[in-house]
Amino acid sequence: MTVAVVAGSAVLGLVAGAGLDVVVTRVPERRPLFAGGAREELRPGRAALLAVVCATLLGGIAVRLHDSWALPAFLVLGAALVALSLIDLRHLILPNRIVYPLALAVTGLLAVGASGDRDGGAFIRALLGGVAGFAAMFVLHVLSPRSMGFGDVKLSFVLGLALGWLGWGQLVLGLFLAFLYGAVVGVVLMVLRRRRRKDQVPFGPFLAAGTLTAVLWGEAILSWYDGR
């Protein structure tokens, strides 16, 4: 059963990843997703890369959560984070057209997961994690609006939901890793003179990377940190 779930998730990622090429092209331009001409716009190389990335990512998520009814929520989150990261890298935005539906979808799917797993406590913790993630990032946005866009704040609610479902340790770890990744990459770019201190660097990809690291390997990292 586990093999079937992982394989099915990987195939789903393959299909979804190929379709994300149209999403990352049309959403920033505020164009309809399902209008004609998608085939003509498709970039085969990027579509293939996104398909491989999503297949690998969703397969990995399934390995981690194959026995939980919450798996669909994390699969949707994983695919969406790939699209959001690419859009943020190219356009420095995290579109509401993706973030808001993602928040609703993840909340609803986690509610179903809580019912299936008979774990209402995890769902309550997820909601509290979403609020905590949003509040923390909102404070940072108020203190330094140039370094923390409000799109990052809105996305942090969704990330807090997912990480809160897994545990408070994963929530703290995911956010910590996001800032760690951002700091390391920022320093490297400055050393290589690819950016200056005042240049804006999208933070969405680092939030995604920190979250996905905590989802995939958070339990192992926290166990190592605790010396278990």
Q: pLDDT tens, position by position, for the chain (228 residues)?
A: 689 999 999 999 999 998 898 899 888 888 877 766 555 566 778 889 999 999 999 999 999 999 999 999 999 999 999 999 999 999 999 999 999 999 999 999 999 999 999 999 999 999 999 999 999 999 999 988 877 889 999 999 999 999 999 999 999 999 999 999 999 988 888 787 776 666 677 899 999 999 999 999 999 999 998 876
Q: Whose structure tokens read 């990330």?
A: 159
The whole-angstrom separation of Cα 82 and Cα 20 is: 8
Q: Which two tokens stand for residue 26?
A: 């049309």
Matching residue, tokens 């209008």: 35
Q: What is the pLDDT of residue 15?
A: 93
Q: Is the dihedral of CA 55, 60, 66, 68 positive or negative?
A: negative
Give the Cα separation of 165 and 187 in Å (integer).
32
CA proximity to 119, closest of 166, 161, 169, 160: 166
Predicted pLDDT at 206: 96
CA-based nearest residue to 75, from 24, 15, 116, 118: 15
Q: Among 111, 105, 133, 108, which residue's Cα sits nearest to residue 124?
A: 111
- What local confidence, expressed as pLDDT, does residue 228 receive? 63
**How many angstroms separate the CA atoms of 88 and 203, rounded?**
8
d(C-alpha 195, C-alpha 50), whole Å: 27
Q: What size, in residues, is the chain?
A: 228
| Structure confidence at residue 197 (pLDDT) | 61
Identity of the amino acid at 78: G
d(CA 124, CA 63): 24
